[in-house]
Amino acid sequence: MENVNPMRGIETPVTRIRREIFTEIAKMAYENKPLDYIEKLPYKIVPGSSRSHYKDIFRDRAIVGERLRLAMSLDLRTMEEHQLLSKGIEDCAHGEKYYNPPLINVIPFACDGCPESAVTVTDNCRGCLAHPCVSVCPVKAVSIKDGKSFIDKEKCIKCGKCIEVCPYNAIVKYVRPCANACGVDAIGSDEMGKAKIDYDKCVSCGQCLASCPFAAIADKSQIYQLVKAIVEGEEVIAEIAPAFVGQFGPKATPEKVFLALQALGFKDVYEVAIGADLGAIDEAHHFAKKVATGEEQFMATSCCPSWSVMAKTLFPEFAHCVSMSLTPMVATARIIKKEHPNSKVVFIGPCASKKLEAQRRTIKSDVDFVVTFEELMGLFLAKEIDFDNFQIQGPLSQATALGRGYACSGGVASAITQSIHELYPDLEVKVDHAEGLKECKKMMTLAKAGKRNGYLLEGMACPGGCIAGAGTILPIKKAQAIVNNFVKTSEKKSALESDYLQD
């Protein structure tokens, strides 16, 4: 598995800034504030007259301003001329507004411009007699200066040999956090040394925005448009991804989250795990009929948009091997639209890439809004939701354990495999799964070489699975434990027990 972002689940000034921005935009919509009210928000979020987070308070407010624009689904402003923070806001203040590309944006003046990568000698160096770092360097880039190891950056090839042999761990290699988190090498530098996204490579997984310690990367949001639809009396129905359990604090049990969503103004709430149950059965049939018979080399899962886009883009000759089953988001949305023809559907989930999936021509009519758990927390705060105020009537019973298990890495393959065993008891299933796009690429490379023929391949863009999506709140291990308990205590164990099979 790729390195997991060490900041995940820790409340930092970055997470607080994001939460305040989502909360204020939600309040602005709920309270029907005039659109130019956004001009006041940087001063509300960054009050006073002293330095707050960056070098000066003016920069703080400028950065918050750009993040507010993105939270309204507006584009970043150019710095060449004076423009109001609210410029163009009338064009996006309605429920039909989708994201103009790009979805994920770098705010240049928020970026620290850190080096892309470097091998550095720290103060831990003791200037030891052995100095093995000098001996192992293949290009003679390491020498001793003033009694300490010194690395010539012009010669260094960043091979890491000096790091491995230092007895004091005094030599370290670091990579720019956003680039280190990107599994498709989509982040480089502009002419000023600031991070720059190559959108031809980017698959919108959002791991860069969750990894930047300067809050310089952000995605666009539909929270304003969503709340306005609720306030204006639209029948808005929520579908919530299985990774939601535990995300909103220990008091927010799954049942109370459903009640809290209704308190926000949603007419009804569905588990996206319903669609996962149906997808597991559909893909079980597909595997038995196409892969087990040798008609197709392998079957790759498709519920993670970033993984499936990467697989189809980098390995186009195997695009037909990526499952064509509806993703859980879309399958559940179509059930909702069938039962509530006049409704608008919001997908509430852990990741940024679902925002782009919902914009596909074939899906736009199914999913009207997408918000993340982090954005939903802003709505809860805006409406001052107290989970202690809700009295639950009984456990959720819409979905089964298998569909709910989709939230964690390995859960999709497990659900499909169990469904295959139940439907086709004599069929052998070979499975490989990868988490993180770099590992997913390695898995597909093996498949291209013919070493995964007959396999079920599960790909997850985020290390840990959906519980590690860019829009999640909890530490990954804690989220995994809570999801596993939710799965274990589910009344229905098999996808074949789903009440929605007829759909």
Task: Show me where the domains of the chain are located.
Answer: 13-113+187-224, 117-175
Q: Classify domain 117-175 by CATH number.
A: 3.30.70.20
List the helix and strand counts (H, then E) for the chain.
Answer: 18, 15
The predicted-structure confidence for 33-46, as pLDDT tens digits, reads as follows 999 999 999 999 99
The answer on pLDDT for 2 being more than 60 is no
CB 378 within 8 A of CB 19: yes
- CB environment 223-233: b (16+ within 10 A), e (fewer): bbbbbbbbeee
Nearest to 357 by CA among 300, 320, 305: 305
Instruction: Give the CA distances from residue 137 to residues 130, 163, 225, 368, 379, in Å, rounded to whole numbers and listed in that order.
Output: 14, 10, 57, 57, 55
What's the CA angle centered on 234, arms 229 and 240, to 5 degrees? 75
Q: What is the largest CA-CA distance in the chain?
A: 77
The predicted-structure confidence for 311-327, as pLDDT tens digits, reads as follows 999 999 999 999 999 99
- pTM, full prediction: 0.94
pLDDT value at residue 426: 95
Nearest-angstrom CA–CA distance, 54 and 40: 20
Mean pLDDT for all residues in the chain:
95
The predicted-structure confidence for 416-442, as pLDDT tens digits, reads as follows 999 999 999 999 999 999 999 999 999
Instruction: Give the CA distances from residue 261 to residues 220, 238, 254, 390, in Å, rounded to whole numbers and listed in that order.
Output: 22, 8, 11, 11
pLDDT value at residue 3: 60
Phi (first) and psi of residue 94, to 5 degrees: -150, 160
Say whether 203 sits in a helix, a strand or coil.
Answer: coil
